[in-house]
Structure 1
Amino acid sequence: MRLVFFDARVWRYLVSAISKVIEEGVFVVDPEKGFRFRAMDPSHVILLDMSFPRESFEVYEVDKEYQLGVNLEDVAKVLRRARKEDKLEIRADTNTISFAFVGKGYREFTLPLLDITTEEIPEPELEFKANVKVMSDVYRDTIKDVELVGDVIKFVASDNEFRVQSSSELAEAEIIYTMESGSILEMTVEDTQASMYTLEYFSDLSGAARVADTITIRFSSEMPALIEHEIPQGAKFSFLIAPRVE
């Protein structure tokens, strides 16, 4: 198995974010469907999903399905060595997986594969009554703003605005976005929707937004939220997070 992706830093930021939430997991590489990682955190609060279609790779030599068990923190440490303009080459055999940076030289790191049982996770069937698309830098700034205040993030969407709130005993924060201001790219909402979530997960995963073009936030009142990242070359990263009820 051999894969080559045009920008190693895309993988650097995605895997680094995932490793803050999940320690070990399984990369599934299919000859037709491409590369996918899908797993829940140990507390089953959040479901992570990362996928790269086979067309996103410059080289995609896969003769069968591979299930590659890895320590995500170890992989993240290796990928942090990615430099600007490095391509990423991934190779695997029966016992090892290798990550190589192809740029000014060739730097290769080999890690052992782990024997991890894959967990069958059904596709959730949810309907979201609020859908808000923003630029990735707007999303990242929002997370940084509310991090200053509390440990809960609250989304509120109505006909003409999207509000993100957080509060503690000592302080409050509220960020208001509207279509007119240009901060929202697209928005559809039924009535008014409001729901709260644990901010720590958004903080841990915010690094993934660094390589995303846009972020779409989908939620309904007191229901899970789906945060979708549009990544270059048709790749996607998303997380589904359970609501926080107080």
Structure 2
Amino acid sequence: MFEACLDRGLTLKKVLDALKDLISEACSNVNSAGISLQSMNPSHVSLVQLNLRSDGFKIYRCDRNLAIGVNVASLYKIVRCAGNEDTVTLCVRDKADCLFLTFETESEYKVSDYVMKLMDLDVEQLCIPERDYSCVVRMPSKEFARICRHMTQIGDAVMITCVEGGVSFSASGKLGTGNIKLSQNSSVHEDEAVIVEINKPVQLIFALHYLNVFTRATPLSKTVWLSMSADIPLVVEYNIKDMGHIKYFLPPKIDEDSS
């Protein structure tokens, strides 16, 4: 049997909202350590990785390892029925063919029960190696979302340039060009700081469509980390407070002008 209880339904809503526009189906691996998910988008361009530790739940029980396959959009529709402050309990019984969801208000005057059929998904788990990146940028997640949104008004792709002391975002298109530069600033509040850790300057181009999808995770964390090196996927990481993280991986686009 598997059972996991969250204090607030809002957390699960935010997690699913961060997934639903990128992946349609997902297979979560559940064990005593927590819940992990890894899935590529349907066009196999981007990868998302989610990890929720068992100690981040109010109640957590997992008697045996499970693979739980779900339709992400359908699960999100059900979880939206929970109040933001409701306690949410997820349960898979020994038969492991259904996910049971219970939403309970704080005063316990209202309890809602839902049952969702699980999917039998054969998902290959990729081995993602730990790397030392040429550049790691830590910045406010709302600012990153704002920049991606603004750059979309100019073009379909953004060039991210990391040099000592700052990071810049540039786009070009029929409308013209746009450039936003952020200087390193660690003297402000931690959530508002821009920190650039650089071993080697980096200049890479990424599709804005995917970056804007990634920013759906903005409500989960006040800070976002961008890890970059030449010829390998960008990692966009949001920490989920006291629970884990969600990471998105996106390969750089080839600059046709330089080929």
Fold agreement, TM-score > 0.5 = yes
What does the per-residue CA deviation read over 1:71-119, in whole Å, with 9 as the maximum and x for residues that have no partner? 1110122223343322221111321112332225222322101111121
Partner of 1:98: 100
Partner of 2:243: 234
Q: Counterpart amino acid of 1:103?
A: T
Measure the CA separation in 2 of the matches of 1:143 and 1:10: 24
Aligned residues: CA RMSD: 1.8
Partner of 2:74: 74
Q: Counterpart amino acid of 1:177?
A: L
Identical-residue share of aligned pairs (%): 18
Measure the CA separation in 2 of the matches of 1:225 and 1:119: 21
Measure the CA separation in 1 of the matches of 2:154 and 2:100: 41
Say if 2:116 is the partner of 1:114. no
What does the per-residue CA deviation read over 1:200-223, in whole Å, with 9 as the maximum and x for residues that have no partner? 112122111111131100012343
Query: Is the 1:49–1:239 Cα contact (8 Å) retained in structure 2?
Result: yes
Partner of 1:130: 135
Q: Counterpart amino acid of 1:107?
A: S
User: Which residues in structure 2 correspond to 1:41-190 (within 5 Å)?
Assistant: 41-93=41-93, 94-103=96-105, 105-180=110-185, 182=188, 184-190=193-199
SS of the aligned residue for 2:218 comes to helix
Say if 2:33 is the partner of 1:11. no
Can you give the 5+ residue segments of structure 2 that lack an aligned partner in the other structure?
none
Alpha-carbon offset, residue 125 of structure 1: 4.9
Instruction: Give the 3 Å change call, closer, same or farther, for CA 118–154 of structure 1 in structure 2.
Output: same
Q: Counterpart amino acid of 2:7?
A: F
Can you give the 5+ residue segments of structure 1 that lack an aligned partner in the other structure?
none
Measure the CA separation in 1 of the matches of 2:122 and 2:172: 40
Instruction: Give the 3 Å change call, closer, same or farther, for CA 121–169 of structure 1 in structure 2.
Output: same
Measure the CA separation in 1 of the matches of 2:231 and 2:174: 22
Partner of 1:215: 224
What does the per-residue CA deviation read over 1:158-186, in whole Å, with 9 as the maximum and x for residues that have no partner? 00111112221113222211123855442
Instruction: Give the 3 Å change call, closer, same or farther, for CA 169–232 of structure 1 in structure 2.
Output: same
Q: Counterpart amino acid of 1:4?
A: C
TM-score (normalizing by structure 2) = 0.87
Q: Counterpart amino acid of 1:193?
A: V
TM-score (normalizing by structure 1) = 0.92
Measure the CA separation in 1 of the matches of 2:184 and 2:245: 25
Q: Counterpart amino acid of 1:225?
A: L
User: Which residues in structure 2 correspond to 1:193-208 (within 5 Å)?
Assistant: 193-208=202-217
Measure the CA separation in 1 of the matches of 2:44 and 2:16: 19
Query: Is the 2:154–2:174 Cα contact (8 Å) retained in structure 1?
Result: no
Measure the CA separation in 2 of the matches of 1:122 and 1:15: 23
Instruction: Give the 3 Å change call, closer, same or farther, for CA 186–82 of structure 1 in structure 2.
Output: farther
Measure the CA separation in 2 of the matches of 1:208 and 1:172: 27
SS of the aligned residue for 1:11 comes to helix
Which deviates the most, 111-120 or 122-131?
122-131
Q: Counterpart amino acid of 1:13?
A: K
Number of residue pairs aligned between Structure 1 and Structure 2: 245
